[in-house]
Amino acid sequence: MKTILPFLLSILFLQNLSSQTKLEQDRQAIKAMCGCYDVRFNFSETFQHTKDTTYKPSPDKITGGLEWVQLVEDEPGKIVMQHLLIVGPENKEQIIKHWRQDWLYQNQDLYVYNGDKQWKYRKLPYDEVVGQWTQKVYQVDDSPRYEGSASWVHVDGKHYWEDTTPAPLPRREFSIRDDYNITLRTNRHEITDYGWVHDQDNKKILKTDDNQIILAEEKGYNTYTKVDDNKCKVAQDWWKAHHSYWADVRTAWESIFENKKDLSMLSSVDDRPLFMYMFELQDKSYDNKAIKKQINAFLK
C-alpha cells in the first residue's frame, strides 16, 4: 500500500485541479513538483547543424537517483523550491544542493542570459505578463542561471508550463566543450499521474558580437517519479540544518537583483568557482553576523 500511495495522491491531485480557479490551479501545479522523487536525467544530441567536419557530438548522458524538492516559500504570488540531490550508498548518503526554482506571478523584472557569464536586465510590460508565471532558475550557489515568463496551461487533462529562454551551458557540457556559449532552452514542466516531467528541446549556440550560429540541437527528458517522502529523510534533515545559511545567501543575492542592473560574473576567483566558497561556508559553525559578512564579501 505504501508503494502505490504517492501515485494515488497524484491522481487525486489531478482530479481536484479541475474544480479550482485558474490562479489556484497554477499554484497547486507548481507545488505538486515538491516532495521525494526517483529522478532519471536523459540527454541526447539530436541534430547537427554546423558544417564543420571536426565537430564531435556530445555523448548521451543518462543519470538518476533520489531528489528531494523542498518547499521554501509559499506566498500567493511567489513559490520557492530547492532541489536536493541524494548520492552515495544507504546510510552513507551525501546531499548535494542542486538547482533552485522560484515562481513569481505577473513578474515584470527579468534577467536574460547574454553569454559569457553576463545577464541583461529587462523590464517586461505589464500587459505581456498578465496571468503568467516567471520561472527563475538558480545555480547551486544561488547565482542566476535562466528565467522566462509564460502561462500555465490546464486543458484536456494536461497541466503544463512552457517557455524558451537563453541559458549558460549545463554542467555536463561546460566541463567538456568550449565551442558554444549559449544554450537556448525550451523548457516544459508537466504534471503527470506519477509525478512530473521536465521536457527540454535545446539549441547549442555560438554567439559573437554580430552573429549567432546554431551548432546542434539536444533533447532532454527528465522524469520525476513520486516515491514515499521517508526515502528522502536524509535530505529533509540536511535542509533543517542548513536552511538558515542559505536564506542569508538568497537575501544577499536579492539585494543585488533589486538594483535592476545588468550582471556580470567571474568564472572563478583564485582558480576556484563561487560554489566552492559557498559550500565551505555552509559547513561552518553558524554565526549569523560573521557568515553574512563573508557571504557579502564573496558577492561584491
Domain boundaries, the chain: 5-229
User: To the nearest whole percent, how much of the chain has pLDDT over 70?
Assistant: 92
Residue type, 28: Q
Mean pLDDT of the region 247-258:
95
**Quick one: which H or E segment has residue 184?**
strand 182-191
Q: Which of 158-162, 185-189, 213-217, 268-272 has the lowest mean pLDDT?
A: 268-272
How many other C-beta atoms are found inside a 10 Å radius of the C-beta of residue 114? 16
| Per-residue pLDDT at 156 exceeds 70 | yes
Q: Which residues contact 7 (CB under 8 A, 6 or more apart)?
A: 193, 194, 226
Query: Which residue in 60, 58, 51, 54 sits closest to 177, CA to CA?
Result: 58
Query: Using 50, 70 and 90 to split pLDDT, how confident is the model at 299?
Result: confident
Residue-wise pLDDT tens digits, 76-113: 999 999 999 999 988 889 999 999 999 999 999 999 99
| Per-residue pLDDT at 262 exceeds 80 | yes
In a 13 Å sphere around the CA of 117, the CA atoms on its Cβ side amount to: 9
Q: What is the pTM of this model?
A: 0.91
Does 89 or 151 have the greater pLDDT score?
Answer: 151
> What pLDDT was estimated at residue 110?
97
| Per-residue pLDDT at 19 exceeds 70 | no
Residue-wise pLDDT tens digits, 168-180: 999 889 888 989 9
> What pLDDT was estimated at residue 17?
60
> What pLDDT was estimated at residue 45?
96
| Per-residue pLDDT at 266 exceeds 90 | no
Q: Which of 81-95, 118-132, 247-261, 282-296 has the lowest mean pLDDT?
A: 282-296
Q: How many helices (H) and strands (E) does the chain have?
A: 7, 14
User: To the nearest whole percent, how much of the chain has pLDDT over 90?
Assistant: 74
Query: Using 50, 70 and 90 to split pLDDT, how confident is the model at 10?
Result: low
Residue-wise pLDDT tens digits, 115-129: 999 999 999 999 999
Residue-wise pLDDT tens digits, 157-204: 999 999 999 999 998 898 889 899 999 999 999 999 999 999 999 999
- Give the whole-angstrom CA distance, residue 118 versus residue 168: 9
Please provide the average confidence, as pLDDT, over all residues in the chain.
91
Q: Which of 174-183, 237-246, 253-262 has the lowest mean pLDDT?
A: 174-183
| Per-residue pLDDT at 36 exceeds 90 | yes
In a 13 Å sphere around the CA of 30, the CA atoms on its Cβ side amount to: 32
> What pLDDT was estimated at residue 234?
97
Residue type, 153: V
**Dihedral pair phi/psi, residue 152, rounded to 5°:** -75, 140
198 bridge partner residues = 189, 222
CATH number, domain 5-229: 2.40.128
Total residues found in the chain within this entry = 300
Query: Using 50, 70 and 90 to split pLDDT, how confident is the model at 267?
Result: confident
